Structure 1
Amino acid sequence: MWTSDADQLDSKTTRYRLQRDGHELTYSDVLKGWIADSDFRAFFTQILVEAKPPAFRWETPAVTRSTINRMFEFVLIDSPALERPVDPTAFDNQFRAHKSGSSVIAFSNLSGDAQMIVPRPLGDAAVYGHLASFVRGAQAKQIDDLWKLVGETLAKRLDETPVWLSTAGMGVSWLHVRLDNRPKYYGHRPYRTM
């Protein structure tokens, strides 16, 4: 059985660590869960659903092939500025270019230094503004598809170059999970320097 521990680091930041049967999960464990275990993906989603902030940024420490067996953790940063009107046209070009019919797509950003994982609009656009609204209001299948694609995309990208996995959202008002070569938009200082 999976469980999670939450530690309030400051007034805006909560750190989460995950366990299974009393053992800490590693980044490798979580990656495997995202890719291959729908029950794990549902558990992970539920942690975010139950988080207190109405809107938050999600950040993980950088990971490489060499560090994949270290303990997994992430932070949620209370981000009320994310509660704003969504821009349903933000990724129209990418949605048109990816005709796969998948509910979630992955593509490189314009500068090529990050990969983005973005849900297609399938219902009320308001749920796509940020991760908190998405996990609380999107279709369960699409949420599951998002975490599966996050795992698959990260697994393909892993080598000795650090990857920072997060959501930011201040530049574009539509949920996009970022896999960055650097902690470009990170708010949690300890993760920026790892």
Structure 2
Amino acid sequence: MFHKKSSVSNDRGTIQYKLEEEGKLSTGAAFQRYAAFEVTSMETPDATPRPLSVLEWAHEVLLSESCLHDLIETISSSPYKALFWETKGVTVKAAAETYFEMVLVDAPQLAKFVKGKPNPEAFASHFGTDSKCRHSTVGCVFENLGKDATLIAPKPVVSKTTESVNTDTSKHKPTDDADFSHLAVFCRNAPQEIAINVWRLAIETFSKSLVSKKSSSDEPVWFSTSGMGIAWLHFRVDSSPKYYSYQPFIEPNK
């Protein structure tokens, strides 16, 4: 086990993602588990980082684009070519008390599944101009077929640049559909503006799903990505941990 921190400043202080644990699941899949902390004073180097609750994390990240960028960078720096991203299942009450944690689970089977076959057509009915998608210029929010989960997916980039005119040296190639096929490659290769705005849309949807529930509600929500069924990135705000790999996050905090 080792500890790694990545941090970003915002108006309230610094958010740090600390690697709390890494190891292997019973299936043999490697994983990294992170927790989010806030340092409230930039002028006190020895200040003790304060763990953020799920609701605090969502609030702070949505306040600051740099916080979103740092989240993306934390995932991008993972050693896994493809991964499952999972968070704790929480009720609205528990979200205010439960510390935010996320786990990255190595998913070579996902990398193999999506290779060479990104599939934006799977959500074409939601991306079209005649659809009800008015949430964002870069992403869409819609129910899954079973109507027990809300999905958030990036829209395909219609106009692709074929000439190397992009002055952003962090991008080595024009946008490609393959860059939208799963979370790890999306965080690493998608245009930064698109990645930030899709993440913002996903976290907003998750946050709204919690605050829209009655304070006494004991209905948990799970926020994650899988991707094994459809080769196009889609976040899940789910009423059950349908595709979870990390056992400790399956049982919800109530």
Same fold (TM over 0.5): yes
- The answer as to 2:105 corresponding to 1:77 is yes
Contact 1:31 1:151 in 2 (8 A): yes
Alignment-mate amino acid for residue 27 of structure 1: V
Alignment-mate amino acid for residue 238 of structure 2: D
Contact 2:179 2:185 in 1 (8 A): yes
The match for 2:238 is: 180
Contact 2:118 2:180 in 1 (8 A): yes
- Note the residue ranges of structure 1 that are not aligned, 5 or more in a row: none
Alpha-carbon distance in structure 2 between the residues aligned to 1:13 and 1:105:
29
Number of aligned residue pairs: give it: 194
Question: How far off is 1:99 after superposition?
Answer: 5.2
Contact 1:36 1:148 in 2 (8 A): no
CA RMSD of aligned residues (A): 1.4
Task: After superposing the two structures, state which structure 1 stretch, 11-20 or 126-135, moved more.
Answer: 11-20
Question: How far off is 1:182 after superposition?
Answer: 0.5
Contact 1:54 1:80 in 2 (8 A): yes
- The answer as to 2:143 corresponding to 1:108 is yes
- The answer as to 2:94 corresponding to 1:67 is yes
TM-score by length of 1: 0.94
Q: What fraction of aligned residue pairs are identical, expressed as a percent?
A: 31
Alignment-mate amino acid for residue 34 of structure 1: V
1:24 to 51, 60, 85: 51
- The answer as to 2:204 corresponding to 1:152 is yes
Question: How far off is 1:88 after superposition?
Answer: 2.5
Considering only CA atoms, is the larger Rg found in Structure 1 or Structure 2?
2
For residues 87-106 of structure 1, the aligned pairs below 5 Å read 87-96=119-128, 97-98=131-132, 100=134, 102-106=137-141
The match for 1:193 is: 251
Which secondary structure state, in structure 2, belongs to the residue aligned with residue 66 of structure 1? helix
TM-score by length of 2: 0.73
Which secondary structure state, in structure 1, belongs to the residue aligned with residue 105 of structure 2? strand
